[in-house]
Amino acid sequence: MKHFLLKTPVDPDGYVKLKGEDYHYLVRVRRLKTGMLFDLVLPEGRNAKASVVSLKDNELLVKCLDFSEATLEKKVSPPFIALLIGMPKDAKFDIIARQMAEAEVSLIVPFIAEHSLTGRNFAAKQKRWERIIKEARQQSGSLIETVLLPPLDFEGLLKFWEDKKREYESSLGIFLHQRALEKGSFHGYLNKEHDFTALAVGPEGGFSPGEISAFQEAGFCSIHIAGSILRTETAALYGIAAIKTILMESEDWIHPQRG
């Protein structure tokens, strides 16, 4: 179900004024008019019904009609999954950002791999990618905030991973490779609960031998997806979908119902 992600707090009477990109999205994209109802998510994570009170001078006045007691904590929350993605071409990263938001990935960590294109102004593109993520969440109805970190160099990525291993009691790191480096499977690696799961996917050209060795020394497990060689954006979605499905359905395959 589509919903609008409200970042501006409402006043004590439930009113909020929206301008700029928010106005453009609701009026130009969603085509809302005075008196129309729509669903939104408040900054603290609660759901609400809202009504368009007025449209005036590129400003939208909205009234929140009710506040659901449902919170993110009370919902069935997807597992915390991070995608570590070697920076591909910009057009591919646009696709990856949108798909990861729709798949309710909690964290996207881009990094400069050996085969990544360099020399780009990533800071200038950060807002664009954050906008793509927000639009994808609103379109898909995802209540999970997908956070996009600024790109790291490879050394910074390894430090990020070590920090996460100290932060979480149980962490699992997986990297995809075009060849089978070890006997491993998604089910085999995910057969016990982890607090933090990270999937690393390379850019066009994959990971270099040095990067593979560094991942293995850092405790990452490798997985080869049998069949045709996948594009970067396809591999990322494939791997995240596999991990999320296995984790979300763990009760069924670890503790199958007995008839």
pLDDT in tens, 40-53: 888 877 788 889 99
Whole-model pTM over 0.85: no
pLDDT at 71 over 50: no
- CATH number 3.40.50.1100 given to 4-71: no
Nearest Cα neighbor of 202 from 215, 218, 219, 217 is: 215
pLDDT at 75 over 50: no
Q: For position 251, what pLDDT does the model report?
A: 66
Angle at 133 between CA 128 and CA 135, to 5 degrees: 95
Domain regions of the chain by residue span:
4-71, 81-252
Tokens 């994808």 identify what position? 136
Nearest Cα neighbor of 198 from 104, 81, 93, 89 is: 81
Q: For position 232, what pLDDT does the model report?
A: 93
Q: Would you say 17 and 27 are in contact if contact means Cβ atoms under 8 Å apart?
A: no
pLDDT at 178 over 80: no
Q: What is each CA distance from 135 to 78, 101, 130, 132, in whole angstroms?
A: 20, 9, 9, 5
Q: What does the H/E/C string look like for 51-100?
A: EEEEEECCEEEEEEEEECCCCHHHCCCCCCEEEEEECCCHHHHHHHHHHH
pLDDT at 33 over 50: yes
Whole-number percent of the chain with pLDDT over 90: 46
Q: For position 9, what pLDDT does the model report?
A: 85
**CATH superfamily placement of domain 81-252:** SPOUT methyltransferase, trefoil knot domain (3.40.1280.10)
pLDDT in tens, 192-202: 888 899 999 99
Maximum average pLDDT range among 8-22, 141-155, 173-187, 200-214:
200-214
Which residues partner with 86 through β-bridges? 111
Q: For position 257, what pLDDT does the model report?
A: 53
Mean pLDDT of the chain: 86
In this prediction, residue 72 has a pLDDT band, given cuts at 50, 70 and 90, of: very low
Ordered DSSP codes for 222-234:
EE---SSPPPHHH
